[in-house]
Structure 1
Amino acid sequence: MDSKIVFPGDFLTTAEEFVAGKNTYEDISGRIYAATVGNAQFDLGKREVSVDKNGRELELLEVGSIIEGVVIMLKPQAAIIEIYAAEKDGRKLNIQQSIGAVPISLVSRGYVTTMDTKFRIGDLVRAKVEVITAYSVDSSTADAELGVIRAYCTKCRDAMGLFDSQLKCINCGNVEQRKFSTLYTLKY
């Protein structure tokens, strides 16, 4: 096995030569890069490249992970989310300045006419990762425990409470619709 010190983003090899192992990732064009600081290990027998590091292993976002984030933009066909936390099987995952989307087809099990009846800018959302590509992370809020976990009034920006399956502003009394989670934080 060959070894050399690498840093995150360092080019290691191509997918034609080696398979991406621990603490590495492969881009859409088949190039393999280091995901962390450590020693690159090229296993010539298995044709696998990995990065060994002292300490905790880096765990990246993967399909099936549960993410939490803030809605930063609404488009006709998707809610764009800035992801601030992720976990899978009780393990926290490494998230750094990630942006994702909840496409209109993955919001709910039923038909959704417009995104602004399900999400608003500034809402805190809990979603499950369905697809990861080089350019996006598409997530679903169709399950009951997924969706908006904290909403803010569009009139006064105060927090909205959940009163008998209805979101109502605690300050001004405004009533709004959302695709809220069973884990919504302000229940009354």
Structure 2
Amino acid sequence: MDKIVVPGEKIGAIEEYIGLNGTYEDSDGNVRSKYFGILSLNREKHEALVIRIRKPVLIEVGDEVVGRIFNISGVFGYVRLEVKNGKPLDRSFIGILYPPRAVREIKNVYNVGDYILAKVVSLKNRAIHLSIAGKKYGVIRAFCRVCGSILIKKINGILKCHKCGNIERRKISIHYDKEWGKIYGY
């Protein structure tokens, strides 16, 4: 008999079933579900297991992520991640972005509001560490500091606002505004 169970739902007593993957025993001697999933009971062997319906999305070293910088502290950018390996994320993750080299002014590398394509380089200390080193990675969409319009790519990292004419510099990706839909997961 297969049915859908929720975390904490009673499956049976420990005298009835041996709890396998996706189950746990509570202090009252009951086998309960660990996950939202499908309950599979083997009545001959008296075994119960729960198969997760949806695995949690985890960020791993080597993943390519797209996110928007929401804060800068010193040279570090704090990024709200929105896409992992071309697929939209269903929950919120925050990453820490490091400049690809020593810089005098971080505003010439990235700015608050910029969308970036980055690579996850570490998960040390329970933080997601991001890098934009290399031609593929960097800012993929930037906005004018003066009027907020989208900046148009010129040459050598120079971006120009088509509305007010403001010129800015960023560490831009080779994908800057080219494949926005593909990178962003649409």
What whole-Å deviation, never above 9, does each CA across 1:21-63 have from its counterpart, x for those lacking one? 99xxxxxxxxxxx7x633699xxxxxxxx97324x64442100
Q: Give the equivalent residue in structure 2 for 1:84.
A: 82
Matches within 5 A, 1:50-61: 52-54=51-53, 57-61=55-59
**What's the CA shift for 1:136?**
1.6
Q: Give the equivalent residue in structure 2 for 1:96.
A: 91
Q: Determine helix, strand or coil for the equivalent of 1:180.
A: coil
Larger radius of gyration: 2
- Distance in 2 of aligned mates of 1:76 and 1:57: 36
- Paired residues of 2:159 and 2:167 also in contact (CA < 8 A): yes
- Give the aligned residue type for 2:162: I
- Paired residues of 1:40 and 1:51 also in contact (CA < 8 A): yes
Aligned equivalent of 2:144, options 153, 158, 182:
153
Change in 2 beyond 3 A, CA 1:122/1:52: same
- Give the aligned residue type for 2:144: C
- Distance in 2 of aligned mates of 1:86 and 1:184: 17
Q: Give the equivalent residue in structure 2 for 1:174.
A: 166
Change in 2 beyond 3 A, CA 1:59/1:96: closer
- Paired residues of 2:65 and 2:118 also in contact (CA < 8 A): yes
CA RMSD of aligned residues (A): 3.1
**What's the CA shift for 1:96?**
1.2
- Paired residues of 1:38 and 1:53 also in contact (CA < 8 A): yes
Structure 1 unaligned regions, length at least 5? 9-20, 23-33, 42-49
TM-score by length of 1: 0.65
Aligned length: 144
Q: Determine helix, strand or coil for the equivalent of 1:99.
A: strand
Q: Give the equivalent residue in structure 1 for 2:37.
A: 38
- Distance in 1 of aligned mates of 2:130 and 2:50: 29
What whole-Å deviation, never above 9, does each CA across 1:97-149 have from its counterpart, x for those lacking one? 1111112xxx22x4322322211111001100011145421100001110100
- Distance in 2 of aligned mates of 1:133 and 1:95: 23
Matches within 5 A, 1:135-150: 135-150=126-141
Q: Give the equivalent residue in structure 2 for 1:74.
A: 72
Aligned equivalent of 1:113, options 104, 110, 120:
104
**What's the CA shift for 1:179?**
0.8
Structure 2 unaligned regions, length at least 5? 9-20, 23-33, 41-48, 180-186
